Amino acid sequence: MFGFNNGLSALRDLCSTGDIIVVEEHWLPPHDLDKCSNFHPLFEGFCWSAMYEKVQDGILRGRPFGGLGVLIRKSLGLRVTVLGVMSNCRCAALNFTFPSGYSLILIAVYFPHGGISCDYASIVRMSWFY
């Protein structure tokens, strides 16, 4: 999204056609997550901020960053269980149980663009272990 406000029109379009929408890079701090999780009345939302630690440090400096979200159309009748979210908010795993009893595990992964440096490759590899 490159910021929640920047991606509003695209998110509206996705809500008109999609049933399960994964959002990344919404840049919302913890106190604004309801903007994403309650974005559309026909969707249930699960959203996480990558800025928890930054907000706890006091005054925000620099630009906002990160964030993951998953929006699920309510009419699907899915029971959703959050299995886990990485501390750096780059990966979330959710279990969807359909009314028929079948389950589906969705893993949403955010790979921030960091070029091809060795440091970036190490961060991406190591993030799977946190």
Which pLDDT score, from 0 to 100, does residue 83 have?
A: 96
Which pLDDT score, from 0 to 100, does residue 69 have?
A: 94
What is the sign, positive or negative, of the torsion defined by CA atoms of 109, 114, 115, 119?
Answer: negative
Query: CA-CA distance, 101 to 67, in Å (whole number)?
Result: 30
Q: Enter the tokens of residue 83.
A: 């299995």
119, containing H or E segment: helix 118-127
Which pLDDT score, from 0 to 100, does residue 119 have?
A: 62
CATH for 34: 3.60.10.10
* 3 falls within a domain: no
Residue 46 one-letter amino acid:
F
* 17 falls within a domain: yes
Residue numbers of the domain that contains 79: 8-127
State pTM to two decimals. 0.82
* 1 falls within a domain: no
Which pLDDT score, from 0 to 100, does residue 115 have?
A: 58
Digit-by-digit pLDDT tens for the chain (130 residues) are 788 878 889 999 999 999 999 999 888 999 999 999 999 999 999 999 988 777 777 777 777 788 899 999 999 999 999 999 988 888 999 999 999 999 999 999 887 665 556 665 665 555 544 4
